[in-house]
Amino acid sequence: MGAHLVVINTEAEQDFIIQQLNKTFSYFLGLSDPQGNGNWQWIDQTPYKENVRFWHQNEPNFSAEECASIVFWDERGWGWNDVFCDSKRKSICEMKKIYL
């Protein structure tokens, strides 16, 4: 069906998504930095926009953490965090609308 990890381009998308999430889990996003050099890219090749940033303060902070997740931190609320790609997390996927 062509689904992939979610791509978040706007604050409205982020707001809609977080309403569906459980605060006790973190979730992989379709955003990664495969070379660990700060060159973040979306899985669907959508351009990563520096101005659309929902990273928690001081994130991303470790070049070996090459995947992005969305996580709820009590003192900060929802935001993005760089994480190890082989860590265990939930996933948020998206796909284009289909007509049956």
The residue extents of the domains of the chain are 4-94
Q: What is the DSSP letter of 78?
A: E
pLDDT digits (tens, 9 = 90+) for 12-22: 999 999 999 99
Query: Token pair for residue 15?
Result: 């707001």
* 35 φ, ψ (degrees, to nearest 5): -95, -10
Which tens digits make up the pLDDT trace of 28-41?
999 999 999 989 99
- The fold for domain 4-94 equals Mannose-Binding Protein A; Chain A (3.10.100)
CA 39 to chain centre: 14
Q: Cα–Cα–Cα angle for 4, 25, 52, nearest 5°?
A: 55
